[in-house]
């Protein structure tokens, strides 16, 4: 989208030069990783980014498989199986989107046809799928202008398999919108919210 930029190093979205909140930062109060050692979180994040990059390059037809880390191979195999099983046809691959009315941005992993239905897809390499994935996918769908798109998380596993989980909870969008509204209200009033008991 014209006017939307993303700084990957700082994970900062800007629209028209102004910083706008990203989907994952809006949803951060829903997931608590405070008990996970920082080095474990960083390693998991780096591995997840590598899985995403391998899948992206494969979908774009530019992956150099000979240079691929062997640890990534089963995750790529799982992604390829999903793509074949669900007859995917992608319109957007890792492309930032912006919601002009709500003033937020995010980068969905995929938008396109999945078994013939327009679907927003998020790729996960985590051991579990967190409840916040539903609001995350709903935020992407609404930002792209397709609030009624199907929503699907694809959890890739170390054994080369995958789990495709649909999200259908109608409260997912209100949850995201509420968190965004609270975040913006706090920012306007110079309040730091305390989400702990």
Q: Is residue 197 assigned to a domain?
A: no
In the predicted structure, residue 193 carries a pLDDT above the cut 90? no
Q: How confident is the model at residue 151 (pLDDT cuts 50, 70, 90)?
A: very high
Number of domains in the chain: 1
Residue 94 and residue 107 in contact, taking contact as beta carbons nearer than 8 Å: yes
Q: Is residue 60 assigned to a domain?
A: yes
In the predicted structure, residue 197 carries a pLDDT above the cut 80? no
Distance CA 66, CA 158 (A): 19
CA 39 to chain centre: 22
Distance CA 118, CA 150 (A): 6
Domain of 135: which CATH number?
3.90.320
Q: Average pLDDT, stretch 79-97?
A: 97
Q: Is residue 29 assigned to a domain?
A: yes
Q: Is residue 196 assigned to a domain?
A: no
Residue 196 has what pLDDT? 61
Q: Is residue 178 assigned to a domain?
A: yes
Cα atoms in the 13 Å half-sphere on the side-chain side of 163: 11
Q: Average pLDDT, stretch 34-55?
A: 89
Distance CA 150, CA 185 (A): 30
Q: Is residue 195 assigned to a domain?
A: no
Reported pTM: 0.92
Q: State the DSSP code for 38.
A: H
Residues 6-34 have pLDDT tens digits of 998 898 999 999 999 999 999 998 887 77
Q: Is residue 35 assigned to a domain?
A: yes
**Which range of residues forms the domain containing residue 66?**
4-188
Distance CA 149, CA 164 (A): 16
Q: Is residue 194 assigned to a domain?
A: no
């Amino acid at each position: 989208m014209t006017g939307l930029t993303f700084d990957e190093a700082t994970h900062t979205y800007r629209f028209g030069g102004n910083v706008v909140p990203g989907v994952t930062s809006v949803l951060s109060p829903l997931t608590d990783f405070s008990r996970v050692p920082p080095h474990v979180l960083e390693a998991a994040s780096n591995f997840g980014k590598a899985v995403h990059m391998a899948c992206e390059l494969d979908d774009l037809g530019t992956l150099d498989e000979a240079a691929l880390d062997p640890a990534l191979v089963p995750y790529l195999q799982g992604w390829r199986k999903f793509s074949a099983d669900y007859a995917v046809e992608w319109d957007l691959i890792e492309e930032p989107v912006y919601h002009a009315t709500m003033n937020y941005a995010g980068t969905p992993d995929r938008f396109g046809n999945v078994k013939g239905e327009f679907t927003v897809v998020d790729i996960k390499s985590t051991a579990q799928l967190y409840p916040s994935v539903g609001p995350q996918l709903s935020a992407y769908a609404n930002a792209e202008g397709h609030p009624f798109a199907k929503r699907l998380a694809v959890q890739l596993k170390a054994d080369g398999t995958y789990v495709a989980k649909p999200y259908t909870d109608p409260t997912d969008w209100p949850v995201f919108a509420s968190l965004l509204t609270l975040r913006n209200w706090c920012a306007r009033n110079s309040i730091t919210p305390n989400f702990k008991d």
